[in-house]
Chains A and B, each alone.
Chain A
Amino acid sequence: MSTVFTPSAGAAALGLSILAGSVPASAQVADSITIYNAQHEGLTKEWVEAFTEETGIVVTVRNGSDLEFANQIVQEGANSPADVLLTENSPAMALVDGKGLFEQVDQATLDQVPEGFRPGNGHWVGIAARSTVFAYDRTKLSEDKLPKSMLDLAKPEWKGRWAASPSGADFQAIVGALLQLKGEQATGEWLKGMKENFTAYRGNSTAMKAVNAGQTEGALIYHYYYFGDQAKTGENSKNVALHYFKNQDPGAFVSISGGGVLASSKHKGQAQAFLKWVTGKGGQTVLRDGTSFEYAVGKGEASNKALVPLADLQAPKVEPSALNNAKVTDLMTAAGLL
């Protein structure tokens, strides 16, 4: 009987091997790494292409989101196929680091990034940064009507007037900063007020698009969505302006995107080389000249000229390695946001 199935099973096996061949698997090529990428696909693509061209190291990318990968790596443990983890925000890095799954980053790499943009233990390193903003409909709100602090958005006068993407890692990082700055009780109360006042969108781009379309007056998102859209057609941001809270307000939080080499990596040399490249001239130039509009964090590396300089943002001091996402998720679940 088994012979009946042999031809089709054989064809399937053939197909499998063809497919395996078409997908560059790091295990097959010695000089290659696998990246779990939670950063914007476009940005990582720009990085990877330039890196491979310069070094000849082949890179396989799996795309996903911050905490999905952090938890995935924890489950995979010693068997993780990933060599490098890149995130948009720090909490996912803190989670993986908390389980002791990162390799110490090479000192030369750490030296390329100022102390404020990496954790003190050197287990991972900042690769880029983004600022919290209130993106508002400038046809509806004048500057004097804007919230003075992010905390104002939980007050009754903002009921039904603003948007956010609560299921995303970006927003959860902002809540993480609020938690670190103002404590558990204040954060819990703010989230309850938020639940009353805001409209949930899936993704920051979509939230900004809603502001532009007049569906809501403002959205609590990161800065680069606006600049990215302006650089393209501007069709989703033509009515939008950005409000920076400044004054060390929780809403002036600057979130650090992280990169780390996994302790389980079998290609540590290449993985370290990648981090060194991303935090060095090559990677930071991509941030300045590319389409991402995220801030460069390398020492002496300039960000895109269109952006408000990092130094002028008056961001509050937040310890990235202490951002506690588990607590944030609990508080958000308790407030009915998740």
Chain B
Amino acid sequence: MTSIADTRITAAPRRRLQAAASWTLTIAFALAMLALLPLGFVLWATVETGWATAFQLIFRARVGDLMVNTILLVAFTVPICTVLAVSLAWLTERTDLPGARLWSWLSVAPLAVPAFVHSYAWIGMWPSLNGLFAGVVISVVAYFPFLYLPVSAAFRLLDPALEDQAASLGLAPPAVFRRVVLPQLRLALCGGALLIGLHLLSEYGLYAMIRFDTFTTAIIDQFQSTYNGVAAHMLALVLVACCFVLLGLEAGLRGRSRYARLGSGAARRPKITRLGKWTYPCLLLPIATAGFSLGIPTLTIGRWLVAGGAGVWRVDEVGLSLFQTLLICLVGGIATTAAAVPIAWLSVRRPTRGSRFLEGCYYLASSMPGVVVALALVTVTVRVMLPLYQTVATIVLAYMVMFLPRALVSLRASIAQVPVELEQAAASLGRSPGNALWSTTVRLAAPGAAAGVALASLGIMNELTATQMLAPNGTRTLAMAFFALTGEIDYAGAAPYALLMILFSMPLTWLLHYQSKKIAGR
């Protein structure tokens, strides 16, 4: 008898945890469907437009021009970013370059400068910059950290044994690098390059300021003259198709090779290359990069702040804008992280084919450009969900769709570090499943959640396109105010907004840098 009773006592909490898991799966599924709404919208819009009209709007000279621009932009920017990021990562991680830690941090810091502020800085310095060349140069300085971060982390994790073996088999150092090191960086390179490619497709402000037309700028132009017209929807369809091409390319190039170390023991620390007489020439690279990516924004903003004097610090306007921005970052960041909890928990505690599929859905949804997400939500709310039209809820939903993976990565890492036995113990002591999770895993994963909120907030702070289209009446975030002022060539008036965005992004960018070091265990 007693044994039966015992089983009952221990089985009940487990069953309850089981029920909790299926509830979590349901919630994660519902959120994934919500996240895929923009994608569904684009398909629906195409069907509604009708093939004849769609064909006419897609296959025209203007779309061809935009396609050429987009392909050239990606084809030049991504390889240049790759070479730059790999060189910088090698110098800072694998050589005795003086001040390597400082250069490493300075190679991530440009992320604190919103892409459109980079653009503003460059045209402040060289007013006639325009077109493809300017687009490529500014994109490189704005986005190369997306490759530097994963590549430098991968350098730290490489097992030097492979390189030693290659060398002992007679390969010269350059050949070792090409045949042994580079292939091992493949995952980091593919991931970073994909991220940059997606940013190139979805960025608006950077290209609008230098008169370089992409699908995103063309959609905004259409939006400004037709609101959510058919032509805008069809451009969005082409843009989404471009995103899919990038996702497909990345999946194809990533390959299926094994990269982990086999056998017992830990990898040695990698060998440090002595630069010797090459030290000073090599220093030129990080110095020039920092000069272009950080020096130019600092100089331009500084110059305009001096020119504008105290007059540009209209405290009522700048202050209100800052307050609204911080609030929307906080709300958006918390909501995004909360939405990431179910899938993060599932992917650690109940990894199944279903949970991996849902995770894929979130990543796919977040790779849709902000302009497409906003266009979808504007149309859906104004037509069928009117109570949500122009509300905070809608814009927060857009942020969730766009930034959920950032929160997911942080959350998952910290949930994985909490022993599952704590949850079970709490449940067997009579706590309800939710309570059991809350009092153990969720609390212990709080640092990861905080990092998730911070990283999502960083994205929200510098988001312009979707915010502009979805913001409730009367909202004026730092990014919106900045862009409106530069549109009227009031560069001095825009400078305080640029400065504030950078100052508030800096600590968040530092967190990103810190996190990448931590993942690599150093």
Say whether A and B bind each other: yes
Q: Is B386 an interface residue (CB 8 A)?
A: yes
Instruction: Judge whether B24 and A1 touch: CB under 8 Å.
Output: yes
Instruction: Judge whether A22 and B323 touch: CB under 8 Å.
Output: yes
B331 partner, pick from A16, A40, A172, A333, beta carbons under 8 A: A16
Contact status of A12 and B473, CB under 8 A, knowing A202-B211, A236-B489? no
Instruction: Judge whether A4 and B437 touch: CB under 8 Å.
Output: yes
Nearest CB of chain A from residue B463's CB, rounded to whole Å: 16
How far is B66's CA from A241's CA once the two chains are assembled, in angstroms? Answer: 34
Interface-central residue, B62, B127, B337, by most chain A CB under 10 Å: B127
Instruction: Judge whether B338 and A206 touch: CB under 8 Å.
Output: no
Instruction: Judge whether A336 and B61 touch: CB under 8 Å.
Output: yes
Contact status of A203 and B487, CB under 8 A, knowing A1-B23, A16-B393? yes
Closest to A12 in B: B335
Instruction: Judge whether B327 and A19 touch: CB under 8 Å.
Output: yes
Q: Is A180 an interface residue (CB 8 A)?
A: no
User: Which of B74-82, B84-92, B226-234, B282-290 participates in binding chain A?
Assistant: B226-234
Instruction: Judge whether A2 and B23 touch: CB under 8 Å.
Output: yes
Nearest CB of chain B from residue A69's CB, rounded to whole Å: 8
B484 partner, pick from A63, A169, A209, A210, beta carbons under 8 A: A63
A3-43 toward B: CB 8 Å interface, digit per residue (1/0)? 11101110110011011101111100000001000001110
Q: Is A158 an interface residue (CB 8 A)?
A: no
A127-170 toward B: CB 8 Å interface, digit per residue (1/0)? 00000000000000000000000000000000000000001010
| Contact-residue bracket for chain B | 35 or more
**Chief secondary structure at chain A's binding surface:** helix
Instruction: Judge whether B334 and A4 touch: CB under 8 Å.
Output: no
Closest to A58 in B: B474
A68 partner, pick from B127, B224, B338, B392, beta carbons under 8 A: B224
Q: Is B191 an interface residue (CB 8 A)?
A: no
**Chain A residues near B331 (CB-CB < 8 A):** 12, 15-16, 18-19
Q: Is B438 an interface residue (CB 8 A)?
A: yes
Q: Is B138 an interface residue (CB 8 A)?
A: no
Instruction: Judge whether A215 and B62 touch: CB under 8 Å.
Output: no
Instruction: Judge whether A4 and B438 touch: CB under 8 Å.
Output: yes
A71 partner, pick from B226, B383, B442, B472, beta carbons under 8 A: B226
Q: Is B208 an interface residue (CB 8 A)?
A: yes
Q: Is B164 an interface residue (CB 8 A)?
A: no
B117-129 toward A: CB 8 Å interface, digit per residue (1/0)? 0000000000110
**Chain B residues near A172 (CB-CB < 8 A):** 225
B residues sitting closer than 8 Å to A (CB atoms) are: 19-20, 23-24, 27, 61-62, 127-128, 208, 211, 221, 223-229, 307, 323-324, 327-328, 330-331, 334-335, 337-338, 341, 382-383, 386, 389-390, 392-393, 396, 432-435, 437-438, 442, 472-475, 484, 487-490
Q: Report 20 cross-chain contacts, Cβ distance below 8 Å, ordered by A residue.
A: A1-B20, A2-B434, A4-B437, A4-B438, A16-B331, A18-B331, A23-B472, A25-B473, A65-B224, A68-B224, A68-B226, A167-B221, A167-B225, A202-B208, A202-B211, A203-B487, A209-B489, A329-B226, A338-B62, A338-B225
